[in-house]
């Protein structure tokens, strides 16, 4: 049996806002699952229902084989780190981390060992005697995380815990969380709207859109086999390119594209192609485009161009392309890496 089970969970807030539509999900013991999606899609709502901070309107949540809908948050043995963390301001960092352990009657020596262990992991060992008011935002966030980790709960819930950190620290702490989670093997759910964070952290991702779980899968499944246009567009930077056309006689045709597509004949099809699956060709047989903007990122170059039918296209190349704004280039797609969606339903076409 799975460790956490959501069965047909629904959330309607008292003002009538339906934040979560019929959602089911099974999480295995020791897994790190990431809820990812744009602002307002219901990530925090779902997490808070698991923590017990929001009532479940309909459906059931099970933890370790038991229904927890009616169980008080303090009885669930779940630790949560919030977007806006709260530390006890009058207590030192040490006491903030030790608090949860003391209240459970754990012995002093054991607490000391645990606080030392956690503070080393989070690189806050030299801050233990300080008060939260004397720390930077990033340091405070790590203390909040330390407090959750030290308790060694059944489940960790993280709600965008890295939002207040600068870019470099964010990557560092992200790595620490991943290592820590592996080491401790604690079942965890991490919420973020940042797809890179989701891809790098999660064993599995739950991509959410407007209160619906659009797709659940490993990062690679989601990246290479998106089931909807929304997932295809949301995951990956720069975003996937989309071109509207139709399929006839096993060929996708759009204004300036004709590409093999082994699907049934269909009007209103959207072709999706990732920027890294488009390359600049020397031959003039490719689709002719005009370069409008270039972003040189060092390890790659992103070229924004427009074809002769005004389709905007983004190309990402690892090579040092000697291309300038205003140049005419020819591009071709990697036909093994194309995605096709039904324009009406936005669902991926199946063969
Ligand atoms: N207490 C509330 N009462 C009514 N509606 C709410 C309440 N809390 C959240 N909502 C609504 O529920 C929806 C989901 O909100 P939620 O906070 O779960 O989104 P989120 O995915 O966590 O977004 P963000 O990335 O901005 O944190 C939103 O439309 C939001 O306005
Ligand atoms: Mg949120």
Going from the Cα of 20 to the center of ligand 1, the distance in angstroms, rounded, reads: 10
pLDDT of res. 221: 97
Q: From ligand 1's centre to the CA of 71, what distance in Å?
A: 23
The structural domains of the chain, ordered by start, are 4-228 (3.40.50.300), 237-342 (2.40.50.140)
Q: How far, in Å, is the centroid of ligand 1 from the Cα of 215?
A: 20
Q: What is the pLDDT of residue 313?
A: 95
Residue 240 near residue 316 (C-beta atoms within 8 A): no
In the sheet that holds 301-307, the strands lie side by side as 278-281, 328-333, 287-296, 301-307, 312-317
Beta carbon of 45 within 6 Å of any ligand 1 atom: yes
With a cut of 50, which residues of the chain have pLDDT below it? none
Per-residue confidence (pLDDT) for residue 315, from 0 to 100: 96
Q: Report which of 299, 5, 286 is spatially closest to residue 155, judged by C-alpha positions.
A: 5
* DSSP β-ladder status, 78-81 and 155-159: parallel
pLDDT per position as a tens digit, 84-135: 677 899 999 999 999 988 888 889 999 999 999 889 878 899 999 999 999 9
pLDDT tens, position by position, 257-279: 889 999 999 999 999 999 999 99
Ligand 1 in reach of 40 Cβ (< 6 A)? yes
pLDDT reported for residue 176: 78
Give the model's pLDDT for residue 163.
80
> Does ligand 1 have an atom closer than 6 angstroms to the CB of 16?
no
Nearest atom in ligand 1 to the alpha carbon of residue 35 is 21
C-alpha closest to that of 133 among 79, 95, 165, 93? 93
Is the CA virtual torsion 153, 137, 160, 73 positive or negative?
positive
Ligand 1 proximity of 339 Cβ (cutoff 6 Å) = no
3-state secondary structure of 152: coil
Rounded Cα–Cα distance for residues 330 and 275 (Å): 14
DSSP E strand stretches across the chain: 4-12, 18-27, 32-36, 58-63, 66-67, 78-81, 155-159, 187-192, 204-209, 212-217, 241-248, 251-253, 258-260, 266-273, 278-281, 287-296, 301-307, 312-317, 328-333, 338-342
What pLDDT is recorded for position 83? Answer: 67
Quick check: CB of 319 below 6 Å from ligand 1?
no
| Cβ of residue 224 lying under 6 Å from some atom of ligand 1 | no
Atom of ligand 1 nearest to the CA of 83: 27
pLDDT at 224: 96
Nearest CA to ligand 1 atom 28: 40
Instruction: Count CB atoms within 10 A of the CB of residue 125.
Output: 14
Beta bridge partners of 280: 331
């Amino acid at each position: 049996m799975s460790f956490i089970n959501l069965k047909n969970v629904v959330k309607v807030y008292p003002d009538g806002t339906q934040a979560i539509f019929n959602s089911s999900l099974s999480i295995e013991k020791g897994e790190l699952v990431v809820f990812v999606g744009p602002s307002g899609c219901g990530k925090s709502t779902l997490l808070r229902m698991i923590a017990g901070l929001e009532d479940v309107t309909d459906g059931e949540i099970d933890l370790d084989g038991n229904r927890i809908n009616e169980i008080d948050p303090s009885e669930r043995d779940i630790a949560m780190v919030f977007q806006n963390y709260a530390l006890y301001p009058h207590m030192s960092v040490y006491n903030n981390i030790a608090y949860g352990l003391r209240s459970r009657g754990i012995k002093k020596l054991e607490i000391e060992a645990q606080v030392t262990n956690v503070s080393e992991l989070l690189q806050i060992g030299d801050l233990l005697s300080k008060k939260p008011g004397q720390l930077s935002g990033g340091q405070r966030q790590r203390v909040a995380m330390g407090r959750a980790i030290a308790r060694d709960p059944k489940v960790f819930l993280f709600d965008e815990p890295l939002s207040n950190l600068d870019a470099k620290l964010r990557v560092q702490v992200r790595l620490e969380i991943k290592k820590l989670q592996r080491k401790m093997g604690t079942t965890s759910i991490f919420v973020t709207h940042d797809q890179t964070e989701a891809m790098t952290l999660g064993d599995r991702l739950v991509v959410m859109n407007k209160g619906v779980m659009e797709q659940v899968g490993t990062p690679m499944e989601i990246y290479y086999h998106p089931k909807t246009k929304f997932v295809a567009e949301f995951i990956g930077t720069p975003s996937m390119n989309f071109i509207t056309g139709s399929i006839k006689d096993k060929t996708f045709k759009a204004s300036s594209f004709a590409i093999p597509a082994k699907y049934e004949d269909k009007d209103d099809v959207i072709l999706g192609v990732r920027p890294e699956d488009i390359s600049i060709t020397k031959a003039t047989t490719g689709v002719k485009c005009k370069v409008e903007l270039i972003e040189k990122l060092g390890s790659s170059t992103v070229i924004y161009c427009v074809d002769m039918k005004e389709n905007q296209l983004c190309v990402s190349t690892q090579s040092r392309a000697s291309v300038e704004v205003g140049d005419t280039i020819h591009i071709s797609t990697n036909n093994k890496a194309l995605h096709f969606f039904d324009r009406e339903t936005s669902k991926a076409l199946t063969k």
